[in-house]
Amino acid sequence: MVLCEDGECSVCLLPYSRMDRIPRVLHCRHTFCEPCLETISRVRSGLLTVPCPLCRRVTGIGLGLSLQEALWVNDKLWEQIPEEADAEEEDGRKQKAEDERMEAKQRPSFQAE
């Protein structure tokens, strides 16, 4: 696995975003997106644990906390994420949802007689 500090998560290889792929820092100081960290996290011995995919050091988080509350955002990467890209990404999602709704309305409905 390659360490990517150039705007993309080294697990999923998708770019970080301010909406849904926020770069979070583990205790070992490696950074990954929230969805990947949520996928690899486990509850063990009363702690939420997140093993680092790179160095395998385990970050322990108290059960009362979420990943968002316990792990810092990588400020260096956060500042590199263009704000416009998030707005465009959100607009793209809204447009896709609207297109799907319109397509569903245009499909003929078949009713059993």
List the chain pLDDT tens, one digit each, 113 residues. 445 557 899 999 999 999 999 999 999 999 999 999 999 999 988 889 999 999 999 999 987 888 999 999 999 999 998 886 555 566 666 677 677 777 766 655 555 54
Domain 1-90: which topology? Herpes Virus-1 (3.30.40)
Structural domain boundaries in the chain: 1-90
pLDDT computed for residue 94 by the predictor: 65
Listed in sequence order, the residues at least 6 apart from 78 whose beta carbon sits closer than 8 Å to its beta carbon are 16, 18, 22, 23
The tokens describing 104, both together, are 């569903």
Beta strands 58-62 and 47-51 are antiparallel
pLDDT computed for residue 32 by the predictor: 96
pLDDT computed for residue 12 by the predictor: 94
Dihedral sign for Cα atoms in the order 94, 100, 103, 105? negative
**Ramachandran quadrant class, 46 (left: phi over 0; alpha: psi -120 to 50; beta: rest):** left
